Every structure is written in C-alpha cells, then in structure tokens.
Chains A and B, each alone.
Chain A
Amino acid sequence: MVVPLKRENEKQFSTFVNIVDDNFGSWIEDRSLKRSMDRQQSLFPKDLETSFPVNAWVTHWHQTWKQQQAKLPRYHLYAYLQEPCYWSAQKISSRFNTTSFGLADCFQAAFEKSDKVLQGFDPGLGPSLSTYAGRAFSNAIHDALANNQEVQIASELSLLQRCTRKRLGKALAVAGLSEDLQAINQAAWQSFKDFYFPKTTAAKTLDSLAPEDWVAMLAKYDLLREQQNLPKASEALLQEWLGKCVLHLRHYTAPRPISLNASMDDCGELIDTLQDGSEASMTQLMAQELEATQQKQQQKINAVLQSGLSKLNPAHQQLLQFYYGDQLTQQEIAVQLKSKQYKVSRQLRAARKALLTVLVTWIQDELHMSCKATVLNSMTANLDGWLKVQFSGEHNQHVDV
C-alpha cells in the first residue's frame, strides 16, 4: 500500500487525492484553487504570511462559505476533506476487504456526505473539522457497505418489501426506463407492497407466492390502472415487472463509478467571484483570532476529559485502552479478558457514559448551552477522537486534535 504524504499547509486546500487501482496514487493540484490560495496569501499583512495555521484556513474558508454559500470556498474545503475522507475509506476498506466495495467505492460513499459535513460542522464546539468529518465519513461508509451487502444478498421478496417508492423511483430512473415503464413498475410494486405478507418466515422468491397473493395484487393493480391509465396486466405480467424491479434495485445499490474530478472542472470561472482584497484579509485576521479561541476551548475540553478519565476505575480505563488504543473489537476484548461480549459492551458503554456525562455537564454549566443534536454529535466525535489520541499515544494523520 502506498501511504500518502502529508500535504503542506496550503496544498491542503488545493489538492485532491487520485486513487489508482484502489490504492493511493498521488495528490493532484487543482490550478484554480492553487491560484486562489496564492492570491489570498498575497493579501496577507507581511507578518502573517509564514504563520497562518491550517486550522485558521479551515475556519476562514468555512466562515466565507457560510456567509457567501459560494463554490470556491466550498471547493477549498472539499480539498481539505480529502484526507479525513481518504483515511476513513482506507481504514474501513482494509478491515472489511470486500472486492465488490473497494477503497475507491468507500471514498466515494463518504465524499458524497461532504456537504452535510460542512453544514453540520460548528467550529465553536470543539472537534476540528477533520475529526468531525472523520466520524461522519466512517458512518457513511459503514452504511453504504452494509447497504450494498444487504441488498446483494437479500431475497427478492425482502428487497421489494423493504424498498420505498422514492428509492424504487431513483433505481428505475438510473436504469434509464421510459416514464411509462417507470409508472407501470411503480404500480406493480405498490400492489405488492400493500398486499404481501410472507406465507412462512422462510419465503424468499416471487415464485413462492401463492395464487391468492397474485389475485389480491392484481386487484390492487387494477385499481391503480384505472387511476393512472396504465396497461392491463395479468398475474404473469405482474411477476415479470416485479422481477425487473428487483434487478434494477440490485443494480442501483452496487457502487457506480463517478469521477470526483469531473465535479471540480468548473472551478476556473469561480476565481472572479472573490471578494476584494481588504475584506479578505479582514476575514483572515478574524479567522486567526477565532482559531486561537477555539484552541483554548479545545484545551479546556481536553482538561475536562482528562479529569473525567482519571476518575474512571482501572477496569474501565483498561477497556478504553483496548478499544480505542489497541483498536480491538468487543469480541476480541472479551477473549482477552475471558469475559462475555455483552459484558464488555456494557462496561465500555458505562465508561463512555461517564465521560459523556462529564462533557454534557461542562457544556451546560460552563458554556450555558442547550445540548442540541448538533452539539451532541460534535461532542461524541470529539470524545472518540480524543480517546484515540489519548490511548494510542500518537497523532494519526486523520486524528488531529
């Protein structure tokens, strides 16, 4: 495996990962983003030029993006998110090692969440963007992998039963069906969805449906047919259409290659939308100040966590070491401790809950903030990132707290 080199500061906002043969290939520089970074730097007051830290850049581009909702700052942030995205994808794909869903597929599944990550990220809450994004990306990859695997091994009946109108619609559209055909397939599926219940828990295929099931479904289809002006059907036709739906649904969940670079192509024209120089350097100064405040905040949070951790009993500390430091699974820990997996899980949760309690109390008492979902999600990302650093004793590239 080729390990990507850490990018220099400014390059983190202008380069994109190039994955070759499901491996890291190289960093590719986007010229318009590079020009934009150069231009920003040329606007710095002289004493700033050498010491503008990465996190201040993140804050700068994130602030600018929030204010303007423009493409340019967003693409700078996309570039920055390449690393957490790559590391999440790399870690998970090497762990699960499935041929049908490799590094590039994982990377893509995660990267599709970028906009949600940028929206959900609140710089005031502690974790750095890369820590916050790392967790969101890992969740996205897990979901995509599980989904892909489940859909490939799911039976025909389960696939149809568990699908939504919206998802089927997308699958049929992606498959390139005409609108008429889409409507027919949708109606066939609706008739199935409303009237099907398995004859046994082992029922799997459309073939195993009883004649009375087809009669009920056909009756329902006929109702829809009148409303929507669809062609007449028979039991056999219904079955054929449903079989097609199954195929399209399976195709839809399989990873589809989409070039990430293609979406970056239109960056060039964006350069003109930059604000004029004086304002830009103002936001940079503010960003730097904000970044300093955030760092203080993070130091406080670290201190709170440190004191919370020191109050945990040795058994709980040991578990956290196994789970976060040594990256063992719960099963592996259970073997190590000659215990049961459910006991390990419960103990691990008790330890996490104790630390989360300390954090929540601190946010409530010191920051006087109400703990909304966004705050809590930032907090868990922060906790997990901190625990990893704390117990692995090293700063991984993808965990920079």
Chain B
Amino acid sequence: MLMFNDLQRPYLAIPELAREKSWLESINLSLLEHRWNHYLNQLTLATVLPWLEAQGSDEALISAQSSDRIFPNPETAAQQWQWVTGTAVAIHDRRLIVIPTDNWDASEFKVPQEWVDIPTWQGDYYLMVQLNPEAGQLQLRGYINHRQLKQEGHYDEGDRTYWVSEEALVQDIDLLWVMAELEPLAERQADLAPLAPLSRHQAGAWIQQLAQQLQTASASSIQRSPRLALPFQTWAGILSNPQLRSLLAQAIPSSIEPDSPPYAQLSQWLQGNFEAAWQSLDQFSPSTPTWGLRNIPAQSISRGKRVALSGINPALSLWTTVTAEMDGRMKVLVQLRHQTDSPDGLVMQPLPPGIELRLITPEEESLQVVKAQQQDDYIQLKRFKVLPKQAFTVEVRLGNQTVREQFQA
C-alpha cells in the first residue's frame, strides 16, 4: 500500500486489534443496516483518539478527566450511532466533532444537522475522517469550524445534513491546535437559536405516533430510523433530553434491544438460533478440516467466535460444542485455537505458550484451568455438563490480558 507522507492531511494506521474488536461489536447489532456505520465510528475512535492524545500531550490540551471526554460515551454509543453518526471529543475546553466516512470520494464533507443545530451538541470544530477499513488506514482530511459550516455550508433537507466541498476545509491538521488556542469564540461558533421547548407530554405523543409508524414500516424495512420521521425541532428536543431519549429508545425497534443478550444461549443453539458472532466452521473458512472435533456425535452443535487479544495476529478463536443429554442437561466442550487464513482454509498455529483457558461460575469460582504448553495447537476444558438456564463464564488469559465469554445453558 502506498502511504503518502502527508504532514497536513496525515494517514493513520488502524490498529489490527481495533478492527477485530470493532467488528465483533458491530456484528452483534441486530439491525443489519446499522452495523457498518457502527463499525466505522468504532474504528475511527480507536485510531483517532490515541493520535489526538499523543498530539495533545505536547500542549496538555486534552483534559485529564477522560470519563466524560467523549460523547456519546461507550455505553450509549451503539444506540446513538444508529441515529446520528459521529462523536464529540473534548479537547481542553474545545469540542471537536469527529465524523467518519468510508466513501472513495471525499470531495464533500457532510455533517448531520444534530451536531450543528442542537446547542448542547454543537462543536467548535468538525473533523473529516476518511477510512479505508480494508487497507487498515484512515486519513484526516481537514476540519472546519462551526461558524463557517453553519453559515457557508449547504443544507440538504433530504438527509438533514450540512455539507461543504473539501476546498472549504482547512487542509492542515496542525492548524486545528493553533486555532483552538487563538480563535475567539465569536469567530469559531455561530449563534444558535435555542430549541423550542418540548413538554414530556408532547414528546410522549410524538414518540407513540412514531413507534406505530415505524412498526408498520419495519415490515417493509424501508425507513426504520426515527431520525427523519419527526420535525427537526421535535426530534432534537427528544434527542437532547436524556429522559425523553430513553423513552424513545424503549418505544422503537433498535439494534441493541435485549433480544441479543451479552451471553450465548446454548438452548437456542440446539434449536438452530445463533448469536451472530458465534459462527459455524463453514463461515470461518469453508475448506477447513475439523481438527480434534471429528468424533462429535451428529446431534451436537459446534460454533466458534473470534477472541481479540493484542499481539496475536490473527485472532484466536474459542470453539464451543454443545450436545443435548437425555436428562435435559447439556454436555459442553470448549476449545481455544490459534489459526491463520490460507488458500486451503484455516491452518492451525501453535498457541502462545502460557495462555490459559478457565471455567468460572457466576460466583467467580474457578472450576477448571488449562494452560498451553510449547507447540500446543489447541487446548480444551474437560467436557462438563450443565443444567438448563445455568450460567457459566469462559475466560482466556494471556499475561495481564483477559477476555471473557458468558454462556447460559
């Protein structure tokens, strides 16, 4: 890959681990159409935040308080990104809105209206990030301040965005830091009218109406986003009020509703329903032989999930095989493998020596531990039986890194 030495519009490498992690997170979203955008936002944050921090440390611009430094925060991000793309990052007392795009064509910079016209959301600066996920890199294309975006940007009613052509961006990232210090408030921010007040009662009525609309729409899946279904003032009023927002979240179909719990449901597996991250061997790689698992009886189900630990490339995978017993219990076999892609399918590699696989109860009691020796291709827990609805956790540990997977029988 050709990497230009562009100081003003730098290319940054997306960390391999971030790709894997973001992908795992995104594939767990239930609504397909939100996955890609979630993925892009995650990749962007994982790459751009550390870079901003490294840059900022020279001037101590990034505040030490990191918990409320980004909006949406990691807990609410999945929900918000399905409505509005982008993340606000606090840099000292300036607010930078980071907007990702993966379009080949970067001649226009589009910013959702929410980031421009909601007074509590508005930023000082808007950064355009262009990603090439496949090549594992992104480019900081330039930035624009709020005032110019609001006053000189074109407003597109169709998708409620403000857009400017790339020539309107400041195409020198170093100037972001310089201007953040030197640009007076009146020059970097345009005045905004406050949002029209919205009572809880009004909002409730809107949300109910919206929920009905979307329910009928979801059958045809044309327009499942509430974003453009309400007048902007109403939508903005709901979005900027945490209580109304959660009311909305409960009322409409969402990617992160509890139909995909954070644990794998083995009873569902036996009926042929799988969480998206748990994949069959065919999905992992079609032409792969089934090592070690050859003697699995036909009524068993085996699925694998990638495990992201830094420093191991490609990722490890955890394989879980479940078999129904006559007495209603389930027999479970858990394996940890290390494998690389090749034209002939996945090829086994030795595990990192010392890596551990551990079975843990909900009370945090450790029941089994297996540790990889030199040249072990895979390690597995001793087969165990569980009662229906019984919960357990499998932990992978290497040095001080741990990854946990939760199950319910």
Of the listed residues B26, B54, B182, the one surrounded by the most CB atoms of chain A closer than 10 A to its CB is B182
How many angstroms from the CA of A273 to the CA of B283 in the assembled complex?
Answer: 68
- Are A197's CB and B171's CB within 8 A? no
Neighbour of B341 across the interface among A120, A202, A361, CB < 8 A: A202
Asked if B179 and A371 sit within 8 Å, CB to CB, the answer is: yes
Output the least CB separation between A279 and chain B (Å): 31
B7 an interface residue at 8 Å Cβ cutoff?
yes
- Once the chains bind, are A194 and B132 in contact (CB under 8 Å)? no
| Given A139-B9, A372-B148, also A201-B283 (CB < 8 A) | no
Within residues 304 to 355 of chain B, which ones have a CB less than 8 A from any CB in chain A? 306, 341
Q: Is the pair A216, B148 in contact by a Cβ cutoff of 8 Å?
A: no
Instruction: List which B1-53 residues lie within 8 A (CB) of chain A.
Output: 1-2, 4-10, 19-20, 23, 26-27, 32-33, 35-36, 39
Task: Specify the chain A residue showing the minimal Cβ separation from B182.
Answer: A360
Closest to A158 in B: B134
**Chain B residues close to A by CB (< 8 Å):** 1-2, 4-10, 19-20, 23, 26-27, 32-33, 35-36, 39, 54-55, 58, 102-106, 132-135, 144-145, 148, 167-172, 174-175, 177-179, 181-183, 187, 220-222, 279, 283-284, 306, 341
As a 0/1 sequence over residues 137 to 178 of chain A, the CB contacts with chain B under 8 angstroms (1 = contact) are: 001001101110111011100100111101100000000000
Task: Name the B residues within 8 Å of A202 (CB-CB).
Answer: 341
| Complex-state Cα separation, A281 to B216, whole angstroms | 71
A253 contacts the other chain (Cβ, under 8 Å)? Answer: yes
Given A116-B167, A253-B104, A145–B2 Cβ distance below 8 Å?
Answer: yes
In addition to A146-B2, A158-B132, 11 A-B residue pairs with Cβ atoms within 8 Å of each other are A120-B167, A153-B1, A154-B135, A164-B104, A167-B104, A196-B32, A330-B5, A350-B58, A353-B178, A357-B181, A377-B171
Knowing A201-B23, A357-B178 are in contact, say whether A164-B187 is a contact too (CB < 8 A): no
The range of chain A's interface size is 35 or more
Q: Within the complex, which residue of B54, B181, B279 is in contact with A346, where a contact is CB–CB below 8 Å?
A: B54
Least CB distance, A150 to chain B, in whole angstroms: 6
**7 residue pairs from A and B, CB less than 8 Å apart:** A154-B135, A162-B103, A197-B36, A346-B58, A350-B58, A356-B174, A371-B183
- Nearest Cβ distance between residue A321 and chain B, in whole angstroms? 15
**Of the residues A196, A329, A346, contact of B5 by C-beta under 8 Å:** A329
CB distance from B316 to the nearest CB of A (A): 14
Bound Cα distance from A361 to B27, whole angstroms: 48
The CB with the most chain B CB atoms within 10 A, among A149, A223, A370, is that of: A370
